[in-house]
Amino acid sequence: MSARAEASRLPTTVEVAGATEGGRARARFSPFLIFVVGVGALAGFLYGYDTGIISGALLAIRDEFGLDHRMQEMTAAAILVGAIGGSLAGGWLTERVGRRRTLTVLATVYVVGALASSLAPSAGLLIAARIVLGLAVGASSQAVPVYLAELAPANRRGRCVTMFNVAIGLGILSANLVASEFREMLSWRWMIGAAILPAAILCACTFVLPESPRWLVGRDRSDAARRDLARVRPPGTDLDRELGEIERVVEVEKSAPVKGWRGLAQGWVRPAVLAALGIAAFTQLTGIEMMIYYAPTLLTGVGVDHATALRSTLWLGLVYAVMTAIGLAIVDRVGRRNLSLFMLPGAALSLFLLGGLLTFGLAGGDRSWPILACLLAFMFFNAGGIQVVGWLSGSEMYPLSVRAAGTSAQATMVWGSNLVVTASALTLVDALGTGGVMLLYGALNVAAFLFVLRFVPETAGRSLEAIEGALRDGTFRP
């Protein structure tokens, strides 16, 4: 059967997302689904805290171990090296043992990695421990959005998955709060070790989570899929209809001649791969991680005092958290594409202005407020736009037969881009100056806008099955 003929068997309209009476029942949140989303958010919190705490801890680590700028980059980037490995392994693990058990494994690694990092007696062992911690960060960035997307009703999928992004922001904010307000009370070891408690709670919670119905149906366990689906749907939901849609897609996918990583190269899948991987790259290349990891270092380099530099990261974290929360509230109504296109120009303009101020020496030292204002404006537009849709788009664009491989590729692209930014940031500043680097990132925000405009279609309000149908019949385009 041809791809176009098979597409006719799949839902291709927004009706399956909740336009009917039964759909409205599915669109409501059940109490247990709220708990599931909360557990996924806890994984996002750990992602944000473990990556963000290095910003405030790095100055103390530098002083204790006598690190030069290259070793500082290696210490900050170590978690990203592990994240690349974790994102690659995450797809294989979610397919082999299931989404829920994968969350249990990564929660355990979160505990071990945070403990080892906090006890590291040397810079080399700290780097090694943070690589281990990065395995959990990378795997959670792949597994959690997929898990939440596959459990959520179509009309609320954006909110459910974006809670992961909001929690990342809360984790970064918490890390900045600890670093700026408790730096006199806590050593960097306690700052990093504080993540052990939420990681242990996450591990305990995973044992009561449901499995993804889509994963269960793919293993011919429809009865178990019905039971777990019923746990996350309110009374009165038409489970037969929703399971029927899943089973039709699974039937088509089982007969697919190419699956997994090789399946990503198929012509009909390629538009999703291009759109999702492009968004993944631009979430990092537009400069967000530069600000999260190195804001205190950059600010002290242009004459801002140590305390003000650390406190500025707290404000950056607060803006990140608030804007991702606002994005959570509006992303299903405004749409993924529209939100990105509206916010990216503001992010670019903020960086161009900041680059100009620094290049021409118009701010710095005692005149630091224009620098801080530009940084906060950039965070407002970037965190409220492309950061909101980054993980969400990857979790919903890939067809079921290649979803694990696709989301692994998605997470790997995020962490690979992040690694490039983090490992080169201070070197670029040394070569181009802080102002020149900001101008470079401003140009990358312009490139991100043009990419979304040309290659990224809207997916809001469409079920995963309808998106797959659009890919198969060639209508997945802006």
Query: What are the pLDDT digits (tens) for 194-217?
Result: 999 999 999 999 999 999 998 999
Highest mean pLDDT among 112-116, 324-328, 465-469: 112-116
HSE-up of residue 248 (Cα within 13 Å, Cβ side): 18
Domain count, the chain: 1
Most confident of 264-278, 279-293, 454-468: 264-278
**Tokens (6 digits) for 413:** 């692209």
307: its two tokens: 């305390």
Mean pLDDT of the chain: 84
61-104 pLDDT, tens digit per residue, is: 988 998 887 788 788 888 888 988 888 888 788 888 999 999 99
Residue 258 has pLDDT above 80, yes or no: no
Residues 117 and 57: their CA atoms lie apart, in Å, by 12
- Read off φ and ψ for residue 367, nearest 5 degrees: -105, 60
Residue reference for tokens 């067809």: 399
pLDDT exceeds 80 at position 276? yes
Q: How many other β-carbons are positioned within 10 Å of the β-carbon of residue 465?
A: 22
Separation of alpha carbons 233 and 230, rounded Å: 5
Q: Is residue 478 part of a domain?
A: no
Amino acid at 4: R
Residue 477, domain member (yes or no): no
Mean pLDDT check: name the lowest of 54-68, 155-169, 302-316, 371-385: 302-316
Note the pTM of the prediction, 2 decimals. 0.73
Q: Residue 18: is its pLDDT beyond 70?
A: no
Range of the domain at 406: 3-472
pLDDT at residue 256, as a whole number:
64
In the DSSP assignment, the letter for residue 1 is -
* Residue 115 belongs to some domain of the structure: yes
Angle between helices 369-383 and 386-397 (to 10 degrees): 20
Rounded average pLDDT over 163-171: 85
Lowest mean pLDDT among 4-13, 41-50, 312-321, 326-335: 4-13
What are the DSSP calls for 385-434, one per residue?
THHHHHHHHHHHHS-GGGHHHHHHHHHHHHHHHHHHHHHHHHHHHHHHHH
Residue 25 has a pLDDT of 39
- Give domain status of residue 144, yes or no: yes
CATH number at residue 443: 1.20.1250.20
